[in-house]
Chain A
Amino acid sequence: MPDKKPISSVNDFVVRFANVNGSGSASANEMFARAILRHGVPVSPRNIFPSNIQGLPTWYEVRVTEDGHLGARGGVDMMVAMNPQTWDKDVAGIEPGGYLFYDSTKPMPSTKFRDDITVIGVPLTAITNSTYTDPRQRQLFKNIIYLGSLSALLDMDPKLIEQLIGEQYKGKEKLLSSNVHALHLGRDWALQNLKCPIGLRVKKSDKVGDRIFIEGNSAAALGAVYGGATVCAWYPITPSSSVAEAFTAHCKKYRHDPETGKAKYAIVQGEDELASIGIVIGASWNGARAFTATSGPGISLMTEFIGLSYFAEIPAVIMNIQRAGPSTGMPTRTQQCDIIACAYASHGDTKHVLLFPEDPAEAFEFAAAAFDLAERLQTTIFLMLDLDIGMNHRLCRPLKWDDARQYDRGKVMTAEMLEEGRDFGRYLDVDGDGIPYRTYPGTHPTKGSYFTRGTSRDRYARYSEEGSVYADNMQRLVRKFETAQDLVPRPLQANAERPTKYGVIYFGSTSPAMDEAIGLLEARGHQLDRLRIRAFPFHSSVASFLAEHDFVYVVEQNRDSQLRQLIVNENGIDPVRLVPIVHYDGTPITARFIAKAIGDHQDHLKVTPLRKAVS
């Protein structure tokens, strides 16, 4: 018996699977997460993987959360330790009173365990080897066998898992029945030999609702399909490659002419990120909706073109799935570390529009919106995802599309308009919003052509190095950026129950951890108003929020508090009032971390929690 009371919890615990990369565990682990969802219980899974294809350790963590806290929690209640390489660290990471599930085929010395946890051994290898002879089958079915054992230990309904297997192997009867068989091998062994269930249990609930379970990269790619992207150029880089791969898969399904079978899209895997963005710029210049997906190192390479897009005013959509930098950094770990690099990308005075989706549903919406914004504003739009949103399945509201919606192709002067005698100046601000008209190449035999260049030019696109002409153009670009403020998604504010002098600003994948942290902080008596920033340039409500609070915490996942720098820089406010809360070790930020950091700061300010003051 463990010397600490075993953890007892229904629908609220964390299971972590420790596997070897390339062992085929991913699909079994994902099935585990999906099976819990089918019980009506929300889960939040995360891949923790190395920059490697085979052999190095990989983990899959499933947070089971009836309350719907989708951020990472921290800590592990049950470790499924399938990787001898990481055994010691994995065992050490279990919460006191937690559970260790392992393959007991080979006896382990007692020193390899802990006294304060419950150890559950299942002879997985022995069961597998006595059933299967093919080595690959042995490896794959071992994963399904532990899934079966876990279903018994956690009191899960095996019918729901069978249903999932049925959906996955629909039409492949042999694979279907052998998977179900493996599931029951593991389940029956556990039922016959172990005390089931343990203290951690899954109980049917109704907290999932109509929500969907999707990776951010796939959702963003779908947003590009719905948003009318026809040209995609990309260069493989973790964690963004699955955007282009998902776009390819979605296009194959939804973008072929039913009669001719021909493609209503063009996807090119470029020779590098320079070519990728060059293709996007060329296609957008010529009136197609085009995008690329990349990560930090790709952004660095693309910056010269991004400057061209800004100055020559050519639409472009760049999806940046951020990972830990600088340099190659930690390619498979998450961060929000390219805020400054993207906001001011390229030499000279430049500013770019950034969108910060919080989850796959917003990734879908903002991806589609990015193409409208790029064509309306004739500039680069960055969709700022990160590995945490991009490469993990996240529970989110269903994707929505209004069939009446038309694409906003922006200010494009047509042959008819030119024929009417409209004055066409490529860089002429006719409407006072800083946005000029453009023409597509090939529009009219004698009117509307112009020479696009990255050099300075006048309002009619004629080369000029005249100081006043240059300044006039640069001022118009500032005006255009001001116009952008009201076109991009606005910040969302949520106020505390009682008026407070304290606020918190956050964005992107921090969202679920922040929502949960607010609950933890309120429990400690700290009241905070929240502002979730969804885009740069900042809407005027950001300045108002800052003015209304004495101290504002800025929570983000990078070392240098980059969003805070951007806010200070763009709003010209006293930096002392903006308190950085940063998490940057490459793991997703947790509610526990945020609550502790803000709570400690509040204590440091000698704030008397309201609850104490009134009691």
Chain B
Amino acid sequence: MTYIAKPKFHHPGLKKNELGYTHRDYEGKISTLCAGCGHDSITASIIEACYELSIEPHRVAKISGIGCSSKTPDYFLGNSHGFNSVHGRMPSVLTGANLANRDLIYLGVSGDGDSASIGFGQFAHSIRRGVNMTYIVENNGVYGLTKGQFSATADRGSKSKKGVTNTDNAIDLVAIALQLGATFVARSFSGDKAQLVPLIAAAIRHKGASFIDVISPCIAFNNHAGSTKSFDYVREHNDAVNRLDVLVGRDPIAVDYAPGTVQLVEQHDGSKIALRKIDADYDPHDRLGAQTFLQKHAAKGQIVTGLLYVDPDAEDLHEHLNTVETPLNTLEADTLCPGSAVLDKINASLR
């Protein structure tokens, strides 16, 4: 509960990252979500990824919409500015924030109600524009905060806790993100930290619109038999295409893997993603192939996870708009205002 202050002391031997920060420096307030909630595991993975990347916590802006998932930015990166905005509108708020200061890291946290229902349009258009962000959907297929209604990602035929069968078709946000031109598309499972942490790290390092759909079972309303977003169901139907590691700077981890099964992807910022391929035929640079692969497996009832698509040379919205390198929020009258001499000329042209 948030009224319980989180103790600040920690074990003196706690490991530090390159910047000298421990895990604790990336934590936030104590979660108010239900014990065992998948979202809390995602929070832990975000903390882990930021720690491993040695990101300065205050250089991240955490932006969310409304719902259980959107509450989570309060539970990580306590020294970052957070913005729990309006239901379904995280993408536009994040886009504006990004335009104002291109130097920060933008982490958008949303849920399936937030992104696939009320904010479906904003999700689509922020991806289309190529906003440089990491967009994480904590997807449980259910409205948790209002107690168990189906969301738009609930599979057709899945059962609610009250026994109602969903008759609407499900929206697969990963398929949509691929179609809309996201330049980093992945899916993972909240219970698979080994896969999720490097995915988040790689998404943060990616320049452009990174999208990660994280299936995150709702232990209160969507973890029963008949649900297709329960722990058991996802574990049984998970088909990972690859495992990956993110290599920043001098990290020598790549040598751990046998040649032939590892593919190195170098991103714009020099960081490398090492993909341990599980499915030998899978090519993460082929958007069309990814779409087909996804559909084929969906037809078989399999949930494909891993890094499905990445374009390491992607451009972002700032490049499209050709904005100056200096963050717009630091510009003052001396560079923004054309001044009275120009105004006199404008006046003269209007007579």
Contact = CB atoms under 8 A, between A and B. Distances in A.
A483 B41 CA distance: 46
Contacts of A268: 95, 99, 129, 317, 321
A452 B96 CA distance: 15
A403 to B, nearest CB: 5
B84 interface: yes
Contact of B331 (A225, A264, A277, A400): A264
A590 to B, nearest CB: 26
A263 B321 contact: yes
Interface string A197-226: 000000000001011111000000010011
Contact of A442 (B89, B104, B347): B104
A287 B97 CA distance: 8
Nearest to B58: A445
Interface stretch (A141-149, A254-262, A326-334, A532-540): A254-262
B95 to A, nearest CB: 5
A278 B99 contact: no
B82 A281 contact: no
Contacts of B235: none
B86 A304 contact: yes
A446 B104 contact: no
Interface stretch (A106-114, A228-236, A564-572): A228-236
A271 interface: yes
A284 B96 contact: yes
Contacts of B324: 257, 260, 262-264
A231 B101 CA distance: 11
Given A400-B340, A405-B333, A278 B82 contact: no
B180 to A, nearest CB: 12
A545 interface: no
Interface in A384-409: 398-403, 405-407
Interface in B237-273: none
B14 interface: no
Contacts of B101: 286-288, 440-442
A450 B81 contact: yes
B332 interface: yes
Interface string B106-123: 000000000000000110
A233 B100 CA distance: 12
Given A228-B337, A446-B58, A213 B79 contact: no
B328 A231 contact: yes
A270 B92 contact: yes
Contact of A264 (B84, B93, B328): B328
A441 B61 contact: yes
A513 interface: no
Instruction: Name the residue among B83, B104, B318 with the largest chain A CB count within 10 angstroms.
Output: B83
A610 interface: no
A462 interface: yes
A185 to B, nearest CB: 28
Interface residues of B, number: 63
B74 A271 contact: no
A451 B61 contact: no
Contact of B95 (A265, A278, A402, A450): A278
A454 B85 CA distance: 7
B127 to A, nearest CB: 11
Contacts of A139: none
B154 to A, nearest CB: 25
Interface string A265-279: 111101110111111
Nearest to A208: B351
A551 interface: no
Nearest to B90: A278
A285 interface: yes
Contacts of B331: 228, 230, 264
Nearest to A393: B350
B156 to A, nearest CB: 27
A455 interface: yes
A266 to B, nearest CB: 4
Given A270-B92, A286-B97, A400-B340, A228 B333 contact: yes
Contacts of A455: 84
A443 interface: yes
Contact of B329 (A208, A271, A440, A452): A440
A272 B100 contact: no
Interface string A460-485: 00110000000000000000000000
Contacts of A230: 99-100, 328-329, 331, 336
B148 interface: no
A288 B328 CA distance: 6
Contacts of B85: 278, 281-282, 308, 452, 454
B60 to A, nearest CB: 8
Nearest to B79: A449
Instruction: Name the residue among B63, B78, B81, B84 with the largest chain A CB count within 10 angstroms.
Output: B81
Contacts of B336: 225, 228, 230, 255, 264
A477 to B, nearest CB: 19
Contact of A282 (B73, B84, B93, B337): B93
B340 A274 contact: no
Contacts of B93: 278-279, 281-282, 285
Given A261-B322, A262-B324, A271 B332 contact: no
A305 interface: yes
A275 B125 contact: yes
Contact of B74 (A399, A440, A446, A451): A451
B337 A263 contact: no
A255 B338 CA distance: 8
A401 B339 contact: yes
Contacts of B350: 212-214
Contacts of B81: 439-442, 449-452
Contacts of B122: 271, 274-275, 278
Nearest to A267: B321
Interface in A419-463: 439-446, 449-455, 462-463
Contacts of A261: 322
A212 B351 contact: yes
A244 to B, nearest CB: 14
A153 interface: no
B335 interface: yes
Given A263-B324, A445-B58, A282 B86 contact: no
9 contacts: A231-B100, A231-B328, A264-B328, A275-B122, A281-B85, A286-B96, A288-B328, A445-B79, A451-B73
CB-based closest 10 A-B pairs: A278-B92, A282-B96, A288-B100, A441-B81, A287-B329, A279-B96, A283-B96, A286-B100, A282-B93, A212-B350
Given A263-B321, A449-B82, 20 more contacts: A228-B332, A254-B338, A263-B322, A264-B324, A265-B328, A274-B122, A275-B91, A277-B92, A278-B85, A278-B92, A279-B96, A281-B96, A282-B95, A282-B96, A290-B96, A406-B332, A442-B61, A449-B80, A450-B81, A454-B84
